[in-house]
Structures are given as structure tokens and as C-alpha cells.
Amino acid sequence: MTIQAQCFLGVALLATLSFMIGCKPGNPSTLSPLTLRLSMIPNTDPGKIVRENQPLTSYLEKETGAKVELSVPTNYAAVVEAIANDQVDIALLGGFTYVQAQQRAGVKPLVQRERDQNFHSLFITQPDSGINSLTDLKGHTFAFGDVNSTSGHLMPEYYMREEKVDPEVIGKAVYTGGHDATALAVAHKRVDAGAMDEAVFQRMAQEGKVDSKRVRVFYTTPPFFDYVWAARQGLDLKLAASFSAAMMKLAANDPAAKNILDLLNATKYVEAEDASYDKLRQAAKEAGLLK
């Protein structure tokens, strides 16, 4: 064989090997890091949520070995759409958005804050409004948060109906889109009263964004189950399990972990169960919000 022929054969073999390696089938995770797509319902400003939760995403990358991408849309329904259409792997949902996503796409509950097993909505008003009970709302303007919010709409409306609040108050209520927006609407007297997430209210009070001179709580609902991290149907079980383990590993006696828990208004995470949301399902059906 001539030298030229030998060289041609060598080049051909290298080209063939390169093509075979490039086209070799296999698990994409062996060629590049796994990507874990997270999302959260926007109970406050979406951009702020993404910025504040960078310590969480960094922690989860370390614990799961996956590249973590966090997205927060501008409304609750978009998160349900995303996880139902496999555009998101794991999402932080409110109780109501969870039962919507579970009914529609079979999402699986993973973990939740311990406080989410005993959650409340707060009804707020101005100090001088004269509103001291739910029945006092008659003739006043009222604000809910997002229409798909558990603590900002579903459960407040449920207890308002239980207390026989004037239907016009509910029917004419405005929707601010978020808990922080509801608190500010009340503080600036754009509405007479509103309902919101207790954890968001507590955080806003600590940060000085609401104060007792402008806003007071006049009613606290009975407890219900609320926020939960849930996985899309079909998500790799090991990846889902590593996420759950990482969240439940967060401990308040570890300074770095406590920083993350504080960001999430949590003290610890526990395993979540679907049956815990049966009361919310019933409330949503009674309100005509769930079939």
C-alpha cells in the first residue's frame, strides 16, 4: 500500500470514529449536567423572588448535582400551565394551584414547610375603618390577591361565605394579583379591607413595609393546608427524591441553612401528602372553581 493510500485510510478511519462518537445514543445526562427546572407561584414580585432565592438554587445544585434553573411567571395560572406541559420539573404551588395541577396533570406532592400544615389567611383593614369582624364588611370595598391563590382568595372567600358575608362584598371585590399588592392597597386606602397570606404579612411587617399605624389584622381564618413543592408526572424518581432530601435536610441550627429557611419563611420542611388537600378541593368545588 502506498504512503498516500495509508494516509487516506487513516483520515477516513478518524472521520468514521468521530462520526460514531458524535452520534452515539445515550443518556444526555452522561454528556452534560442534568438540568432541574424549578418554578414558584408569584405571591410577591416575581423578579424579587428570583433574586432572593439564589442561595436556594445554589444549595440545590450542590445537593442534587443538577444545574438548577428558577423561573417565576407573573401569575399563578402560568405555573400550573408550565408544570402540566412538562416545561417545569418541580414547582412551589399554593394549595389551590396544587389541586388544579394534580387534577389536570397528576403532579406529585414532595415536601412543604411545617407551617403549611397549619396555615392561615389574615383579613386586614385600616386602624380607623370601623371594621372589626367579617360581618362588618357590608358596604365596604374589598381586595383579594390572585384569583388562583389559596390564602389570598379561595380560603378567605370560603370563610366569608361561612360567616354569611354580604355577597356583594365578594362579587365586587378587586383582585390585586399578589399578597404584597393587597397589603399596600389597604395601607393606601385604595380598598377598605383585604385578605392575604399570613407569612407575607409577617415578613412585610418585619421589613417595615406595613405598620400598625396604617394596617391592622381584624380576622384570622381557621387553619388549612397551603404551599407545597410538587413534581411533574414522569420526573426521574431519583432526582425528585434528591430534591426532597435536600429540602428536608435544611436545619435551623446551621447558619447557611437557616439563611435559606428564612428566605422561604420556614423553620423546617416535611413530607407532603395529597390527601391533606381534600378540604381545599371541596372548598374549590363549592365555589365553582374546580370541577
- Using alpha carbons only, what angle is made at residue 149 by residues 135 and 167, rounded to the nearest 5 degrees? 30
Domain total in the chain: 2
112 and 46 in a common domain: yes
State which residues form the domain around 112: 32-117+225-286
Predicted confidence pLDDT, tens digits, the chain (291 residues): 544 444 434 434 334 333 333 333 334 334 446 999 999 999 888 999 999 999 999 999 999 999 999 999 999 999 999 999 999 999 999 999 999 999 999 999 999 999 999 999 999 999 999 999 999 999 999 999 999 999 999 999 999 999 999 999 999 999 999 999 999 999 999 999 999 999 999 999 999 999 989 999 999 999 999 999 999 999 999 999 999 999 999 999 999 999 999 999 999 999 999 999 999 999 999 889 998
Domain boundary among 184, 201, 220: 220
Question: Would you state the cell numbers that stand for residue 190, as one nine-digit string?
Answer: 385604595
Domain boundary among 200, 220, 240: 220
Question: What is this structure's pTM?
Answer: 0.83
Look at residue 26 and tell me if it is in a domain: no
Dist CA 57 CA 71 (whole Å): 11
Amino acid at 235: L
Environment class of residue 17 by beta-carbon count within 10 Å: exposed (0-12), middle (13-18) or buried (19+)?
exposed
232 and 112 in a common domain: yes
Domain boundary among 220, 247, 269: 220
